[in-house]
Amino acid sequence: MTGSITAAEDVTQEVFLAFMQGLDKFDEGRGALSTYLFGFARNVSRHRLRQEIRLVGQDNGRDSESQDPDDDPAQVAIRLESAARVRRHIRGLSSRYREVVILCDLEELSYQDAATVLDTRVGTVRSRLHRARQMLAERLVSSGAQRSSDKRGLRCAI
């Protein structure tokens, strides 16, 4: 959501500190703890982004992909470049579409849990996710990236 590893770490810390201080606010009857924490993290992220005048950039030089020493360096470079391109295009989506891609495709939340986090209906999550995937595919094709028809390929690239 933040586009920055450092900012994401700060948000995570802020969420858990606030959660520990306000344990009484969590209601098991409204949903799972993970759903509550995702919603909380979403709100904290959005609040931080609103406070900053500029968008937070992605940390350079750090990559979460593990590399096998036997991998062909050219293939690794292509894979990393593709992942960076996909991340850039996700960051370029408006927050309503970026959120559903992150929650459903990357964090693998169910539509129901994503709807709870976003405080919207399941049908809205489905339609936003469909539209977000369309926009990503169009942007990737127009930027010269090869289009992957399965969302697992998208998730792996990210």
Domain boundaries, the chain: 1-57, 71-158
Tens of pLDDT, residue by residue, the chain (158 residues): 767 788 788 888 888 888 888 777 777 887 788 888 888 888 887 777 666 534 434 444 444 444 454 556 666 667 667 777 777 888 888 888 988 988 888 888 899 988 988 989 999 999 999 999 999 888 888 877 444 444 444 544 45
Q: For residue 84, count other CB atoms closer than 10 A to its CB.
A: 15
Architecture in CATH for domain 71-158: Orthogonal Bundle (1.10)
Contact 94, 46 (CB under 8 A): no
pTM of the model: 0.53
Q: For residue 107, count other CB atoms closer than 10 A to its CB.
A: 14
